[in-house]
Structures are given as structure tokens and as C-alpha cells.
Structure 1
């Protein structure tokens, strides 16, 4: 028989030992089945202080096994497990500081079966996530005798105990939630292990592999050489840093893509090697078009997981060296509005430069900034103009505040607005509200192949409802797929959405969004070029 001891923090002499599992002095187990023993020590003990014996003081000491050895370090309760291969009766004891508790174990073919245990991981072993993404490991246990006691979680990297949950009755389900960055065992391709024990000591274990966990690639534009003359090279400088575990991720090859224009176009890529927790600088460039009029447009640097955007100005060939500068001198809104109504933002623009200003003015909303409206203006030097921008807000259930910005390329002004929730406004007893979360994609894919996005949907409202869940792709957002989902209050479901990507020649990186009428979630995906 093999067993595992637990640790305690106390160093005072043990005052008492009390059986916890098995709770009774005698138990029955089948040949070859696992059985666990645990005693409550007061004060707690360290694993090496517990002397485990089988069949009296002349028997060999029990060799500790994980995870219960580390379990003792956390709880102070000595614990051990093992198996008896043949039928018979045995005596198992643990002694700490001269205090002993004893169990009698009958090993017989007629003993109850071990408990059943099934463990699953979401995302599963075929998925790839970043260190920021969440991981849920779920264990479902069942015992025909109805004596479930506890479930222990063990990480597979160092085989140490990480958590426990009390159970009861015939069935029990529990989920261990963490993030990719904290699940070092998954980063190292080790499994997650669950152990379930019954009150009479019968024990079972099961394991599951987790997803591949990659470092998160951050990016931030730090500068450009704009404004430049039309036809010159525009240079964009960005800093890239990598979040991950240095033991497993080390040096990471990060591909940075430069996307320019209101009709986004991929114009340059660079790959830079970045060590975990450090920063590297990358320069991307392209030759601007020889245009007559001065233009301001967005430039965006993207990695596989993040993006950074700014506006740049290219001076047209017809300009005589003078240049406009369009400042936002006034900003008004019609807020507060109710979710689903039109939010209007009015901006006063003044050209404080010494030449005409030809600009695209953007309305950008949200804590995760999204451009929702654009209007082109031309303002002569010393003149002012007023623009009105807006969009239809989401029909949110609860009140929400968020920033709105007006950007000219030369200046930005912002204001926080309130969108009132619709809860109770329709006279009904309740409303449905669908939260959505992207749980995986099959990206990267090659241009022309099917891009698939999986999302979890939960009705967080207090009434049943049916809503369309849409897949929106690209920087000029386009709805490419949708599914109708019906859920009761508190109900959950999964949707699978997708579309056939365009057969691009060069690699393209762009956002995909899954949205309901009440919420949305976005990921960045890569489509490899066919050239």
C-alpha cells in the first residue's frame, strides 16, 4: 500500500488527532482500489512529522505520494493514500508526536465500487489561448453509495495540491477557474488532475490536458515621421512587449503588421524577437501615394493579440507649404439617451493653421474605442465649421457611462455620456439580456478557407428571450453570419458562426466580433495570404 502525508505549519507538540476520512474506525475497499486516509491534527503538522504504518509498528513506513503530501503543507492534516492488492484485513495507522489513530481496512471483492469521476477542460487541448484568457476545468463525480466527501485539485507540473471542494450525496460537479498565465502546468503541457474521496475513504482520480498557452503580444505606437510630403515614406515606430512565463515562452517571434487608411490596407510587416517581460522597438513603413490634396488617415499596428492606432497627415503636392490644423473647440451631445436611441454628438472645429484643412472627422465611442461615424470636412485657414455625428446605441438593459471622442487627426476632444437602460421602460415584468463571449476560433486560416468562431451565450436577464447573435468581421464592420438563440433566464448556450474568407495574396490581420443586441466580444485573427 502507498500513502501520502500532509504538512502543517505548527511546530508545537500535537495535542490531538481525529479521524476525518474514513470517518469511522473501519472501512471496506476492493482489491487494487485506491483508499485515502486523513486525520485532523491540532495544531497542524508537517508531512515528515507523520509516521504512516501498515499492519503494526513492525511494518514498513508508508511512502508519501502527491498531491496529499503538499495538501498537508496547506492544511496541517496528515493524509495518505494507497492500494491493497489482495483480499484480507489490514491495520493502517498514523502517529504524530506519540499520538496515534488507527483504521481497520477489510479488502474484499464485495466492497462498493470506487466513485466515478470525469474531468473536462474549456477551452480543450486542441485550442490555443493567451496568458490573459480564462480556463475552466470541470469535474463531475458520482457514487452509488451516496457518500461523496471531497474533491481535490492537483496541478500536473509539480504534482502539488491547489484546491479542494466539499461534496455530499450521490453526485457533485465543481469547476476550477484560472487564467492561462496562472496555469503553469498547461503552459508546460502538463495535465490537471482531480481526486474524489468518499466518507469511507474510497478514492478515484482522473486527469485532463489543457489548451496550448501562448504569450500575449502587446503593441503601442510610439511615434511617426508625419506630417510628410505626398510620395515620401511614412515611418511608424511601435513598442512590442510580451506577457508570458519566461521558463516556457522565453523568446517570442512577434509579427507586427502595418495597416493604413479608412479603407484599411495591409502595407508592411516585420517580425521581431522579444524576450518575455521585455520590450523591443519595430519600425514599419510604406511609400505614400502622390496625392494633390493634404490627407489625414489612420495607421494601425497589429500583432496577433493587440493593436494600436493613430492618425497621420500627408501633405498634398498642390499645397504651397502651408498646412491646416483642425482643432475641436466645442463638443455637445444629446445625452442622456435611452438604449436603442440615436446618440448625436456635435463638434465645433476651428482651423488654426496657415492653410486649408481637408480632414475626415471621426466619432469614436466606448472604453474599447470603436469608430461609429465619419464625416469629411474642408475648412479654410482661420475659419470654423460645425459637424454632427452619431449612431444608434445598443438597447442595453442597465444604465451605462462611456466616453465619446471626436477626432480630426490634429486634435481630439472627449466627453463621458450616459445611456439609460431600458429595464422597466416597456411595462413588462422583465427583460432578457444576452451576454456573449468568444471561446475559440480556428484561426489562423489561409485565404479562401472557412473561418470559424465559437461563442458562449448567457441570458443574464430575468425573462426568457430570443435574439440574433451576429458575427461581424473587418475594420469596416460587415455582418457575415448570424444565429437565432433562445434562452431562459440564467440559461447558457453555444453558437458556431463562420464564413468563407477572401483569398488574399498577403497575410491579413483583422478583428472579428460576436455581438448580441446587448453585448459583444472581439478577437483579432490572421488570414494567411496565398501568394
Structure 2
């Protein structure tokens, strides 16, 4: 019997394929529609976050410009990360670019010395006459799904978003506030792109000026550079000024001052990750009298509290609370203040209410004492004797007039909480304190940082202690074990290389719980000049000075000090430099005990030799020569002026001849000689004298060997012959008597003690 075929398995396979197709289609639709929408939301949320961070950077910039020795550091998250996906894919993570771009120059039009009211230390007129180049801080995101995000700008302390030329303010602008005019010049060369967070430092380079009073006649203007005039038109209140025209050519917006209005102008320059080379000199202070008032018998207020922070704001009984505070005794047009330096500061707990001057001392954040009109202070609240609960803390300061902060008008108050100790042991917590470094060092040297790590917890613990340089780990002390309430000292190192040189390099020592950062400096290693000077031998007519030209730049002057050597050597004026190819020489001279050499161009680390001529050796001794160049390298070397033996005769014969020439008699002495020790020899002279010592003839030769003849009257008999060797090492003289017809040899000559 035949059986019919069974196709049930085929049905199952077809169903599985259809189910897989449906699943893949759904996954594709999810990838196509849901993933971009979710990623767009991630990007939008990041854009809102960075706008808040840029507002904080802007606030730090404005606050820095208002404080002497101002500094602010902000973290800005330039990009973000998409959530991890199992079955779908993300594009590359979004990033962003933060940098400074040239905006233009701030200028003042038609404001002269006649418009400036008051007396000042410094010349505000010169400051206003100058143009001040400033820069914009600019953030541009690079998103994948959020297609038209704004570009965020910070111009002159004003943060706003730009959408195709339209500006939407994020903060108020500080340039015009009623009749207060604030100009913040921004300098620096910031340029960074990343998908993570970066640190941006803002520091005060110059200023702030005291308020400069300007009385307007109606034609005065301030021109500020901007790429987005729409943002400024919307943000400036025209109650006391008028917004003028925008110049497309110059990229500047004019702010016109109202006629018969008095304004107070303040200026400062801040630097964003740069050197501040473009900053103006804003050192303008208003001259003040001795009376601490406003001229009408009213005492002006004392210092204002500008900042108060408690860290932490909640502690267990027995732990400490750290106080950071800032004060300013600078006034404004609408709020005059004492303007004298701050000399004292203190903190108080509200319910204690001590008398002025009886609070707990605050210490200067920098230096040993308060002495400026703007000061930062710090202190510590010990809670061991405080009951659990909330406490209000305020701070106050006193200026040189004896006037304290008016706490009701100018004070700040912060609250902290003391919690009862529940008796449980705190886990190990490692606090880090940098105690010493060897900064500054040269590139190529090893940077060392000493740190003390304290375990402030109640349990023993083990952690790694890490050294990071500008965010990169360079060293780690692994498995540092510290018992509870104990500490350990350690040293971390970073081997620097060529190219690591720079200032304000962040060195961070951190544990799992704490970190401390320190700015360090790595300087360019200019290297050893390898300076050397040759000894002066008896036969030398030049002396040589050799050094390397490593890091010697165009027009860097080298000075070789030979003033000490002049005691033993008389130098000539002939100079020569060699072992230097294709090198133009701007200066090579010897004067007043120094040889100076100034190149034009980089000698590319060649070894250079300078030679100077020698006229005479004076004293046989050791002498020191110094070297210094404009790279800061210095060295010295010693040399010897070497004494040599005076040449002598190897052979010497003299024969007195009786010569008959027809009717004339002429006698002569024939000298036959050879000189030994030739290196300092110059010449030999033979002199013949009669019995009375009168010279009758002489002959000189610079040959080291030969025959010469001296003639004399035949009636002179016997005669005296003198032979003199002259040399750079000294002279040698010999003498003998000769009868006519006699020959004397070297043994018959007598050396004289005195020799001319």
C-alpha cells in the first residue's frame, strides 16, 4: 500500500523564514527611524548642557575681569556619547570645536582728555586713544542628527546663540549697564576639538581699571567688533545710550553716548589659554584723598562679599568644613565704596553674633597678609564641639580705614549641616597633598613631584596614586597601603622629552578619592655651550676659543671675557672665525677685554672657533676666560701661558783675521754658529768692541745657522766679541776676547748675567 507524502515540515520552515523576515524588517525600521530620533535627543540634550557650561565660562570670564589677580577654570563638554546598542548601530560620537577667533578692535571715537573727569594714577586718555584687539570665544558642534544647532559665541562678556545671523542671548551683556560701561578685552589662542570634556582657564592679564568718569558732549562713540549685531541690538537698553550703525566693512557696531550724560568706564583684559601679548595696559587707578568718605562727610561702605563657598555643606560631627571667600572694595558709579586695601577678614556663625573683629580669622588665599583692594580668603570650621543641626555662616572684611563689611547690604550667608556621628567606621579615604616639585626643569630632565597621601578614614586601605600631565597618565604608584589615620610620603616622576616645554602645564596627583593639581613649567634645554680655550705655547701667535652654537639664534650675541687673561697676554686686534659655513657675521670685535660675536642666521648647532692674535706673552701663569650668550648659557675655562727655555748656541766659533788689501789693512772677525731650541728664536746679533769697550762693528741675522763677518780698524787688538740670541722667551748673551789670528770656540765664551 502506498503512503501519501507529508509536507508539514515545509510549512514550519516557511513560517520561520517569514518570522525572521518580519523581525529583520522591524529591526531595519527601528534603525532607520527610532535610532536617529533617540540620537537626535541625545544631541539636543548635550547642546542644552554645553550652553549651560558656556554660560558658566562667560560668568567666570566676567568675574575674572572684575577681580585683581582673577582666575577661573571651567570644564566644557565639547561632545557626547550615544547609548550602547545591542542589535542596532550608532554613527561616530558627536564632537565639537571650542576656540578663539579674531573679532576686531575695540575703539573709542571723539573721546579726549577734556571728556575725562577726575584725577588718575596713569593716563586714561592714552588708553582710550588706542585700539584694543579682542577675540571671540566660539563653540561649533558637529552633530549627526541635530541638523541646525546654533553656534554659541561669547563676545565682550556676552554669551549668545547665533542662528544664521540672528542672535539669541543666553546672558546679559556687560558693556552697557545704565551709565556703567565695561570693556573686557579677550586674548588667547584657544583651539581644541574633542568629543569629551576639556578644561578652559581664564586669567586676568591687565586691569581692571578704576572707574574712569566720562562726561559726554553728544558725539562720543564706542565701537565694538561683532559678527552678530542682531544679538547686541536686542540686548542693549537704549535708556542712556543709542545704538548706532553697523559697519559691514569693519565689522563693528557703534554705541553712541547721550549728550550731557556722565558715564563710568572700566576696562580689563583677560586671557583664555594664551600669553596675553595683545593686552593693553589697564593700570589706571583713581587718586584718592585721606578722608574715607564721598566728600560730603559720609563714610563710604567697606568691602563687599563677592563669593562664599562651604565645602562640604554637610558633615559628620568632628569633620571640618572649608571656607572659600572673596571680597572687593572697588566701587561703581551707582555704588561707591572705600576703594582702599583690605587688611583683615573673618568668619562667624550667625547665632554666635560676635563683635566686629572678634570672629574667627580668615587667611589670605595667596601670600601672608591681606593688602589688595580685591582679596580671596580661606578658613576652616571645626565641628567637633558643634551640636548636630544647621548653621548659618557669613564672612566680613575690614579695609585700611577701619570700615567693616556691611553684612545686611554687602554680605553673603551660606548654610552647612552637622550630622550626629552614628559610631560606624568611615571607610578608607585617601587625601592627596602635593608637598614639593623640582619645577621648573629643562625638557629632557625628569620632573619629580613629592606628595603626602593621608588615609583620613577609620579603616585601612590600598589604592593606586597616579600622576597625570595635561590629562595623560605618566606615572603610578601601585597598591599604596596606608593604615587608618596614617599617611605616606611618595615621589612620582615624568621623564620629559624635547617638545614638552611650556608654562601652566597641569600636573595632577590623584587617588580614588581626591586629587590636587599644580601648574608646572618645562623650559627649553639650551644645552651646554662646551666652551674651551687653548693654552698659549711659546711659538703661538694666536689663541683659539671654541664653543657650540646649539640654540644660538639670529643676532644672539656671544661674549667672551678675556679681561683676566690680559694680565698675562698682550692681544692684537686681528680676529677670525672659522668652522662656520654660509654664515653672515654681523659683529666680531675685541674691545675692553671682551670679544663679541653676533651671527645673522642659525649656525645649526655647529662648533665654532674664534681666533685672536697674540702680540706678546707677559706673565707665565694660569688665567680664566668666561663665556655667556643671549640664550642664557654661561661657562668658563682656564688656560696656561707656558714658559719655554731661551734658545742657546749648539756651536759657536769666532776667528779674528789680519786682512791686507794692497795699501789698506782691514781686520775682521768671522762668526760661525748654529742655534739650538728654535721654537722661540727670533734673531742673533754679533757685536765687536775695542779695548775701551767702544763698539766698532755689528752684524745681525735671523738665520738659525750660518757664517757672518764684522770688520774693524787694524790697530784694534785685541777685540771683544759679544753674541746675543733674541727670542720670544727671552734673550741670551755671551762674550769673549780675541787676539788677531786667534780662533775661539763655544767653550771660550762666557755667558753674561745681564743681557740687553
Q: TM-score, normalised by structure 1?
A: 0.26
Greater RCO, CA 8 A, separation 6+: 1
Higher strand share: 1
Structure (1 or 2) with the larger CA radius of gyration: 2
